Structure 1
Amino acid sequence: MKTCNPSVQNITITADTAGQRIDNFLRTFLKGVPKSMIYRILRKGEVRVNKKRIKPEYKLEDGDILRIPPVRVAEREESTVSAKLDKVAALENCILYEDDYILVLNKPSGTAVHGGSGLSFGVIEGLRALRPDAKFLELVHRLDRETSGVLLVAKKRSALRSLHEQLRLKTMQKDYLALVRGQWQSHCKVVQAPLLKNVLQSGERIVRVDAEGKPSETRFKVEERFDSANATLVKASPVTGRTHQIRVHTLHAGHPIAFDDRYGDREFDSSLSGTKLNRLFLHAAALRFEHPNSGETMRVEAPLDGALRYCLAALRASK
Structure 2
Amino acid sequence: MSTKSNNYQPSQVLTISADQAGQRIDNFLLNFLKGVPKTRIYKMLRKGEVRVNKGRIKPIYRIQADDAIRLPPLFMDEKPQKVSRSLDKVQQLEQRIIYESDRLIVLNKPAGMAVHGGSGESFGVIEALRSLRDDLHYVELVHRLDKLTSGCLMIAKKRSTLRYLHEQLRNRQLNKTYEAIVWGHWPKNVRQISEPLKTLRLANGDRRSVVDASGKASTTRFELLSHIGKDQSHIIAKPVTGRMHQIRVHCAWHENPICGDKKYLTDKQFLEKHQRLCLHAKAIAFRESADHEITKVECHSDSFNHYLNP
Give the TM-score normalised by structure 2. Answer: 0.92
Cα displacement string for residues 93-138 of structure 1 (whole angstroms, at most 9, x for unaligned residues): 1111111111111111111112222324221122222234446422
CA distance in 1, matches of 2:99, 2:290: 15
Does 2:291 correspond to 1:289? Answer: no
Size of the alignment, in residue pairs?
306
Q: Determine the structure 1 residue equivalent to 2:250.
A: 249
CA distance in 1, matches of 2:184, 2:198: 25
One-letter amino acid of the structure 2 residue matched with residue 301 of structure 1: E
**Candidates 211, 217, 228, aligned match of 2:213:** 211
**Candidates 88, 93, 96, aligned match of 2:95:** 93
Q: Determine the structure 1 residue equivalent to 2:70.
A: 67
One-letter amino acid of the structure 2 residue matched with residue 117 of structure 1: S
One-letter amino acid of the structure 2 residue matched with residue 242 of structure 1: R
Cα displacement string for residues 63-114 of structure 1 (whole angstroms, at most 9, x for unaligned residues): 1012223321342x23545325554332211111111111111111111112
SS at match of 1:267: helix
Q: Determine the structure 1 residue equivalent to 2:154.
A: 152
- Are the counterparts in 2 of residues 179 and 281 from structure 1 also a CA contact under 8 Å? yes
CA distance in 1, matches of 2:228, 2:49: 65
By how many angstroms is 1:186 displaced?
0.4
Q: Determine the structure 1 residue equivalent to 2:43.
A: 40
Alignment of 1:100-115 (within 5 A): 100-115=102-117
Q: CA RMSD in A?
A: 1.9
**Candidates 118, 121, 124, aligned match of 1:122:** 124
Alignment of 1:21-32 (within 5 A): 21-32=24-35
- Are the counterparts in 2 of residues 21 and 57 from structure 1 also a CA contact under 8 Å? yes
Structure 1: which 5+ runs fail to align? Answer: none
CA 166–74 in structure 1, closer or farther in 2 if over 3 Å, else same: closer
CA distance in 2, matches of 1:242, 1:55: 33
- Are the counterparts in 1 of residues 228 and 308 from structure 2 also a CA contact under 8 Å? no
CA distance in 1, matches of 2:155, 2:116: 12
CA distance in 1, matches of 2:290, 2:95: 25
By how many angstroms is 1:6 displaced?
3.9
Q: Determine the structure 2 residue equivalent to 1:234.
A: 235
CA distance in 2, matches of 1:218, 1:80: 38
**Candidates 126, 138, 141, aligned match of 1:139:** 141
By how many angstroms is 1:293 displaced?
5.2
One-letter amino acid of the structure 2 residue matched with residue 303 of structure 1: H
CA distance in 2, matches of 1:68, 1:131: 24
Give the TM-score normalised by structure 1. Answer: 0.89
Q: Determine the structure 2 residue equivalent to 1:309.
A: 305
